[in-house]
Amino acid sequence: MSYDEVSVPENGERITYDEDDDVLHVPENPIVPIIHGDGIGRDVAPAAQAVLEAAAEATGRNIEWMRVLAGEAARDEYGENLPDDTVSAIRDHRVAIKGPLTTPVGAGFRSLNVALRKKLDLYANVRPTYYLEGVPSPVSNPEAMDMVNFRENTEDVYAGIEWEAGTDEVEQVRDFVEDEMGFDETIHDGDVGIGVKPITEYGTKRLVRRAIEYAIENDRDSVTLVHKGNIMKFTEGAFRDWGYEVAAEEFPEETIDEDTLWEEYDGEAPDDVVVVKDRIADNMLQQLLTRTSNYDVLAMPNLNGDYLSDAAGAQIGGLGIAPGANFGDGRVLAEPVHGSAPKHAGKDKANPTAMILSGKLMLEYIGWDDAADLVHDAVEAQISEHRVTYDLERQVEGGVKLATSEFAEEVVDRIHDLA
């Protein structure tokens, strides 16, 4: 049985995409697939749904949710982790949102999150990191943080090319690397696990292109390419070089590189120009803390992007409030940065803000900026009064601890008041 026989809402219409013009056509009552997810997904996804629904209704529209399954719920219902119907429902409807999905460490099935991003070719994982008034932070100037991280989503460690120690395959790869590629003194004797880290010109350029386009459209000052090219010259170093190439070849009027900024403009960028610069990843991690306001849009290979965006998220209040979304061409799958936090699952206590703000990204993508602004303002007002879930309440004096569902109900009330 396919998804359209069981779960398509009768009253909704599909969002469509005009590929030639790169334009989405969004009805007033779009069908939006949603995966609640594992662990705390069961708590935060319904909470986010209620808030997004309220914002849509307050601006004269309606979201027709289509519940699709992955992870534990899919195993219970269909005996598989990621049914094809779930993937095709998201592919067909173009705009979707998901909660976290658990991935076993070391053994067991491969990440369903990675599988979804790859199957749907959602090549840009975008994580905006900005300060919300009232959020407790471990740093003294959290308001300096206003970054948007573009993390490549299909290659580097996400390519998943690796071989397990003790297998015939890994020994074949070792022989090839040692005997044919000349690395005969490099790998220690004994068991070894080997992974391959591909970074392509194609994958790099489409990610960096997207980051530059975003910076231009949103009046941002700079795009920083974050790499480890001093050590891995032909993968991370190539990422940097291809990144600069995209800027120079495709955006010659709209961008300048950092050398030109100093040589020709004495460090003062002209208006309406995006400065493209690069930083080595370890340096960038400390610059996040020490020179926060010098950075704006970051473009990164997969693993650097993972580390950087969690660290940036910590500076503005932690995983409970950090949103994200995965973009392809004419397609988005919004999802919070956090995982399924199994120890808090089903207790109605996790913070739904990250998932709510991921939904805000989804609303912006479909052009419902008024609804997105309502979500932002209502969440910020709620947090600034310190009526928050356990994770934030424990960090503020005099805060009121709310359950996930209570937090969402109060945000919905604020949306009604603000509209």
Q: State the catalytic residues.
A: 158, 228, 282, 306
- 152-160, 236-244, 267-275, 348-356 -> range binding ligand NAP (CB under 6 A): 348-356
Identify which of residues 273 and 354 has a Cβ nearer to ligand NAP in the complex: 354
**Site track for ligand NAP across 11-50, x = CB under 6 A:** -----------------------------x---x------
Q: Which residues contact 125 (CB under 8 A, 6 or more apart)?
A: 117, 150, 151, 152, 153, 305, 324, 325, 326, 327
- Identify the residue among 32, 70, 114, 341 touching ligand NAP (CB under 6 A): 341
Query: Using N-to-C axis directions, what is the helix angle for 41-58 and 404-418, rounded to 10°?
Result: 10
- Identify the residue among 12, 30, 100, 359 touching ligand NAP (CB under 6 A): 100
Identify which of residues 12 and 339 has a Cβ nearer to ligand NAP in the complex: 339
103 near ligand NAP (CB under 6 A) = yes
Identify which of residues 97 and 216 has a Cβ nearer to ligand NAP in the complex: 97
Question: What span, in angstroms and rounded, lies between the C-alpha atoms of 256 and 275?
Answer: 5
Question: What span, in angstroms and rounded, lies between the C-alpha atoms of 173 and 163?
Answer: 8
Identify which of residues 44 and 145 has a Cβ nearer to ligand NAP in the complex: 44
Supply the minimum distance, in Å, between the C-beta of residue 310 and ligand NAP. 9
Supply the minimum distance, in Å, between the C-beta of residue 41 and ligand NAP. 8
Supply the minimum distance, in Å, between the C-beta of residue 254 and ligand NAP. 33
Evaluate the CA torsion angle 234, 235, 237, 239 in order and state its sign. positive
By CB under 6 A, the count of residues binding ligand NAP is 18
- What is the DSSP annotation of 360-371? HHHHHHTT-HHH
Query: Using N-to-C axis directions, what is the helix angle for 353-365 and 369-384, rounded to 10°?
Result: 160
Identify which of residues 132 and 256 has a Cβ nearer to ligand NAP in the complex: 132
Q: Which two tokens stand for residue 149?
A: 């991280």
Supply the minimum distance, in Å, between the C-beta of residue 300 and ligand NAP. 17
236 near ligand NAP (CB under 6 A) = no
Identify which of residues 222 and 358 has a Cβ nearer to ligand NAP in the complex: 358
- 81-89, 96-104, 229-237, 285-293 -> range binding ligand NAP (CB under 6 A): 96-104
- Identify the residue among 49, 86, 113, 154 touching ligand NAP (CB under 6 A): 113
402 near ligand NAP (CB under 6 A) = no
125 near ligand NAP (CB under 6 A) = no
Q: Which residues contact 347 (CB under 8 A, 6 or more apart)?
A: 43
Distances (CA, A) of 241 to 140, 158, 225, 246, 307: 35, 21, 9, 9, 22
Pairing of strands 124-130, 325-328: antiparallel
Site for ligand NAP, residues 308 to 327, rule: CB under 6 A: 319-320
Supply the minimum distance, in Å, between the C-beta of residue 311 and ligand NAP. 13
Distances (CA, A) of 294 to 56, 90, 231, 331, 397: 35, 37, 25, 31, 31
* Cα radius of gyration (the chain): 22
Supply the minimum distance, in Å, between the C-beta of residue 120 and ligand NAP. 14
Q: Which two tokens stand for residue 176?
A: 């090839």
354 near ligand NAP (CB under 6 A) = yes
Question: What span, in angstroms and rounded, lies between the C-alpha atoms of 183 and 169?
Answer: 18
* Burial (CB count <10 Å: 0-12, 13-18, 19+), residue 28: exposed
Distances (CA, A) of 143 to 2, 138, 140: 47, 12, 9
Greatest C-alpha distance within the chain? 71
Q: Which residues contact 413 (CB under 8 A, 6 or more apart)?
A: none
- 9-17, 175-183, 244-252, 350-358 -> range binding ligand NAP (CB under 6 A): 350-358
Supply the minimum distance, in Å, between the C-beta of residue 335 and ligand NAP. 5
Which position's Cβ is nearest ligand NAP?
Answer: 339
Q: Which residue has the tokens 């997105």?
A: 372
- 16-24, 89-97, 147-155, 337-345 -> range binding ligand NAP (CB under 6 A): 337-345
* Burial (CB count <10 Å: 0-12, 13-18, 19+), residue 301: buried
Supply the minimum distance, in Å, between the C-beta of residue 180 and ligand NAP. 36
Q: Which residue has the tokens 């519940």?
A: 67
Identify which of residues 126 and 225 has a Cβ nearer to ligand NAP in the complex: 126
Identify which of residues 244 and 307 has a Cβ nearer to ligand NAP in the complex: 307
> Contact residues for ligand NAP (CB under 6 A)?
40, 44, 100-103, 113, 319-320, 335, 338-341, 350-351, 354, 391
